[in-house]
């Protein structure tokens, strides 16, 4: 059985709406607040308030920011009506239009947080993708790009909060409906931009996500909300076949007449066979490959290391024979949309290859938990899945060197502790 969530985005999507929908569907708000606490940020308060949206009972995420802790935060509640309308999907109508942070600062903040590895990796994937998109739009390197609205503290809290809520619910597969969008223009830190904004359309184009047009000038789909769906999601389409266990509704700030301004989360389980038949069980990802015949073994080993550091799920080298009987190697890397361009560029730079090919494949990661065990006072991470315990090699290697013990002895000890068979 696979734990699944489907989001109904008939009124658009924003990060705070996704978060509220997951909490309304049963995610533990304390788990979300623990993840926020791990960021080490003060000066904000959050509540989830029961509201009605066109007669639908839902939760509204209300995040209040103390501008002493976020000096660019704009608390001017006297925005003009057009500006308020443009930002009705955001958590607060006085959200921080002038706040900006370099992408590297946001990524460092998340990387340094003491959270479960799955939450950290998911949040990093979302922000790396946002940085790449903003870099493409403004012609800036992804690490150097200034994140404006999506770099605001409330957006950071939305992304980390959604990742923590998905982790708490044990969600392994995420799907979503076609996303509603408006038209006209919206006010942003860069001035008035087309609605939907360029970041949203590029995120949609990168994954082939479908949309529904609604006759409104409201900003229905925000970059944060769309990034969460397109980066973490498996597919866009109708609700998959599953046994429904819970449902929740996350409200936007506005309550327009005639339609409920909510995102609906439907949580349940699906059998693997049913998931396969629906075509969404596997996580879509990219297989990047290059054939090289003039790269040393040392460089190939280094390339694998840096590809993994740049976000590849896995990287490997396969011996091959090329034309005229020349011995050569295929360098392969498996990655998501969020790290595709970075991994592709790294593969070219490190090997000097004249070409890279890519195919889209399905990936079925086994559900697993990461925990830390103590081997004679040294912390060693282990990954635990059904019937298997995998010890983090680098941690075990450091512990073995510090203790003066054989590596295999430390590996066996950590494995026993991880499986619970050694007190």
Maximal CA-CA distance, the chain: 74
Report the C-alpha gap between 75 and 55 in whole angstroms: 30
Q: What is the pLDDT of residue 190?
A: 65
Nearest CA-CA partner of 237 in 219, 215, 210 = 210
Average pLDDT estimate for 8-36 = 97
Q: Does residue 320 carry a pLDDT above 50?
A: yes
410: pLDDT strictly greater than 70: yes
pLDDT at 143 (0 to 100)? 61
Single out the residue of 96, 238, 78 nearest to residue 158, CA to CA.
96
d(CA 375, CA 392): 13
Tell me the pLDDT band of 282, cut-offs 50, 70 and 90. Answer: low
Give the residue with greater pLDDT, 80 vs 389.
389
Torsion 243-245-250-256 (CA) sign: positive
At residue 192, φ and ψ (nearest 5 deg) are -85, 130
pLDDT tens profile 347-403: 999 999 998 998 878 777 666 667 888 998 999 998 887 667 889 888 999 999 999
Share of the chain above pLDDT 70, in %: 82
pTM above 0.85, yes or no: no
Say yes or no to pLDDT of 196 above 60: yes
Q: Are 125 and 229 in contact (CB under 8 A)?
A: no
What per-residue confidence (pLDDT) applies to 206? Answer: 79
Half-sphere exposure of 321 (CA within 13 A, CB side): 2
What's the pLDDT at 179?
96
Confidence of residue 271 (pLDDT cuts 50, 70, 90): low
């Amino acid at each position: 059985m696979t734990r699944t969530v489907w989001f109904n985005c008939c009124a658009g999507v924003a990060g705070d709406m996704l978060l509220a929908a997951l909490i309304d569907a049963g995610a533990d708000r304390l788990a979300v607040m623990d993840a926020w606490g791990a960021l080490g940020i003060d000066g904000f308060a959050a509540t989830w308030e029961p509201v009605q949206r066109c007669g639908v009972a839902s939760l509204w995420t209300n995040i209040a920011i103390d501008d002493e802790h976020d000096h660019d935060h704009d608390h001017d509640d006297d925005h003009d009506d057009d500006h308020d309308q443009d930002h009705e999907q955001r958590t607060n109508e006085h959200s921080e239009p002038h706040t900006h942070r370099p992408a590297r600062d946001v990524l460092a903040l998340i990387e340094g947080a003491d959270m479960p590895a799955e939450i950290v990796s998911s949040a990093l994937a979302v922000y790396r993708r946002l940085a790449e998109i903003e870099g493409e739009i403004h012609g800036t390197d992804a690490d150097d790009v200034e994140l404006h609205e999506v770099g605001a503290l409330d957006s950071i809290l939305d992304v980390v909060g959604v990742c923590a809520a998905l982790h708490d619910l044990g969600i392994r597969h995420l799907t979503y409906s076609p996303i509603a969008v408006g038209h006209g223009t919206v006010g942003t830190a860069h001035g008035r931009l087309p609605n939907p904004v360029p970041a949203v359309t590029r995120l949609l184009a990168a994954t082939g996500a479908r949309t529904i047009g609604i006759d409104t000038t409201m900003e229905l789909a925000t970059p944060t909300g769309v990034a969460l769906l397109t980066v973490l999601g498996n597919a866009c389409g109708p609700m998959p076949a599953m046994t429904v266990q819970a449902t929740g509704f996350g409200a936007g700030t506005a309550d327009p007449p005639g339609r409920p301004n909510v995102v609906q989360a439907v949580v349940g389980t699906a059998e693997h066979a049913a998931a396969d038949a629906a075509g969404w069980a596997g996580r879509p990802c990219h297989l990047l490959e290059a054939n090289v015949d003039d790269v040393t073994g040392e460089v190939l080993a280094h390339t694998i290391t840096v590809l993994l550091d740049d976000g590849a799920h896995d990287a490997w080298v396969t011996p091959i024979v090329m034309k005229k009987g020349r011995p050569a190697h295929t360098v392969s890397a498996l990655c998501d949309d969020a790290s595709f361009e970075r991994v592709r560029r790294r593969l070219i730079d490190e090997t000097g290859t004249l070409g890279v090919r890519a195919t889209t494949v399905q990936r079925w990661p086994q559900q697993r938990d990461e925990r830390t065990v103590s081997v004679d006072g040294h912390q060693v991470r282990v990954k635990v899945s059904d019937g298997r315990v995998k010890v983090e090699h680098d941690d075990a290697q450091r512990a073995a060197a510090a203790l003066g013990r054989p590596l295999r002895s430390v590996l066996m000890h950590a494995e026993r502790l991880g499986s619970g068979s050694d007190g």
